[in-house]
Structure 1
Amino acid sequence: MQPTLLSLKNMDVFYGRIHAVRRATLHVRQGEIVALIGGNGAGKTTMLCTISGLIRPGQGSILFGDTDLVHRSPEQIVRAGISHVPEGRLVFSPLSVEDNLRLGAYTRSRFRQRASIAEDLEIMFAMFPVLRERRTQAAGTLSGGEQQMLAIGRALMARPRLLLLDEPGMGLAPLVVKDIFRHIVELRDRLGLTVLLVEQNARSALKIADRGYVLENGRVILQGTADELLANRDVQRAYLGRELEE
């Protein structure tokens, strides 16, 4: 069994008086794809933002290996080995595809890693050939699927060990979503990357995940292997619907 890479224990997160995440405990092992599923407002995005340092937890612990992340800045967390692809992709629209990718390596640029950054840029272009074709094109002119590939590539330029993916399939056509999810599995299989995935399409997420957690009103109410959650009648009724019959 692979070692635990990320561990959350009894984590609470507040937005003012709103208790957004309640005593959340979960873990992600090295090399796993772990899915977080749940309805709107369940706390999934809040959990990712807390791990990446954009939100401070009210209490609880967040360990990345032996590193306590609770009091680390987002930049320090990126340096530690975590990259976050946010909901909505948030590419820098006026900048070129290549400049967006290079910005993903901003934590490395001050350490004179020009050669390795150039090498990683070529790896991204090999992994996502359409980005090479659009290399000089403004990111804002790309299709939704191309922007999602760019957002993932930008995150990978930081050389993370853990990738946080928030709704990578949002607003994309089913065939494009299938392609994005194929890339996620490829990242795990080829690069050994660990992935914590938030996705509204629960069935698609669980089909590529090793394990999953179900969130409801900020609480982890269920966990198990992906197959166990796909077969769970409560999960089917609440989050899968007729998708399971397709």
Structure 2
Amino acid sequence: MLTLRNIDIHHGRIHAVKRASLHVRPGEIVALIGGNGAGKTSTLTTISGLHRPSGGEIVLDGRDITRAAPDAIVRLGLSHVPEGRKVFKPMRVEDNLQLGAYHRWGRRQRAAIAQDLDAVYTMFPVLHSRRTQAAGTLSGGEQQMLAIGRALMARPRMLLLDEPSMGLAPQVSREIFRHIRELRDRFGLTVLVVEQNARMALRVADRGYVLETGRIILQGPSEELLENRDVQRAYLGRDLDAE
């Protein structure tokens, strides 16, 4: 469904990602793990058109989107849940959700948008109970649910999730990752998730890639990466063994 071929990403003189190649098949959950500054967020923002690569090719469903605008990429079925949630804090929860369907507004789409809103509320009941509140009054976990719900309102076929557990308590993080699995198992979405909590990401993913200083150094089934001693030493850590 999604293929990156030899992608180079620069931020000024900084070569953030170096000839990275990866693929995500329809219906897969794929994890991209690595430390701070590895280039994970740069990879996602480049896929979604927020940053232009300096080389390489990005293909979505056989269509070259390397130079496509972000709104065009959303219309092609790819939604991005950014690092730090980026909800519109002064606005009501429901208004945030409806903004996710901005490209679908029109008389013919009103019923479908209302239906999708109900589906989001079914998946995240807490958002329904807080629908008239300002988004900034929600907890971190609730804001993450809101960010995912907003992305779902675009009716995507694929989601990019950037650090969904960032700043969340362990129990809340586990709940968010249960929802990520539900997005695939119940709704058939394809997911590429960037995450520093490597163990949690690999447990929910089918396959994974390890990005280190801008280069993909390892890839394979999640079970193999979880058992890889280099991955354990660098990214899993003894403090996560009790999870």
**TM-score, normalised on structure 2?**
0.98
Q: Which residue of 2 aligns with 1:139?
A: 135
Greater mean deviation of Cα atoms: 29-38 or 110-119: 110-119
Task: Provide Cα deviations, 1:216-240, integer angstroms capped at 9, x if missing partner.
Answer: 0100000000000000000000000
1:59-208 matched pairs, under 5 angstroms: 59-110=55-106, 112-208=108-204
Q: Structure 1 stretches (4+) deviating beyond 4 angstroms?
A: none
> 1:16 maps to which residue?
12
1:137–1:212 CA distance, 2 compared to 1 (3 A): same
Asked whether the 8 Å contact 1:23–1:219 carries over to 2, the reply is yes
Aligned-pair CA distance for 1:17:
1.1
- 1:91 partner SS: coil
SS state at 1:206 partner: helix
- What is aligned with 1:40? 36
In 2, distance between residues paired with 1:105 and 1:153? 11
Question: Could you say what secondary structure the match of 1:171 adopts?
Answer: coil
Give the alignment partner of residue 213 of structure 2, picking from 213, 217, 238: 217
Q: How far 1:245 sits from its partner (Å)?
A: 3.0
Aligned residues: 242
Q: Distance between the aligned counterparts of 1:235 and 1:195, measured in 2?
A: 22
Paired with 2:202 and 2:237, the residues of 1 have a C-alpha distance of 14
8 A contact 1:36–1:44 mirrored in 2: yes
1:172-231 deviation line (CA, Å, top 9, x unaligned): 000000100000000100010000000110000000000000000100000000000000
Cα distance between partner residues in 1 of 2:182 and 2:241: 26
Match of 1:57 among 49, 53, 60: 53
1:244 to 1:147, Cα distance in 2 relative to 1, 3 A: closer
Q: After TM superposition, give the deviation of residue 71 of structure 1 in Å.
A: 1.3
> What CA distance in whole angstroms lies between the structure 1 residues aligned with 2:178 and 2:170?
12
Matches of 1:140 and 1:130 in 2, distance apart? 14
3-state DSSP class of the match of 1:113?
helix
What is the rounded CA distance, in whole Å, between the counterparts of 1:111 and 1:10 in structure 2? Answer: 43
Alpha carbons 1:38, 1:216 under 8 Å: kept: yes
CA separation of 1:111/1:35 partners in 2, compared to 1, >3 Å: closer, same or farther? farther
Deviations along 1:142-197, whole A, 9 cap, x unmatched? 00000000000000000111100000000000000010000000010001000000
What is residue 231 of structure 2 aligned with on the other side? Answer: 235
Kindly report the root-mean-square deviation, in angstroms, between the aligned alpha carbons of the 2 structures: 0.9
Measure the CA separation in 2 of the matches of 1:104 and 1:221.
35
Query: Please, what TM-score do these two structures have when normalized by structure 1?
Result: 0.97
Q: Which runs of 5+ in 2 are unaligned?
A: none
State the Cα distance separating 1:67 from its structure 2 match. 1.0
Structure 1 residue runs without a partner (length 5+) = none
Letter in structure 2 aligned against 1:177: S
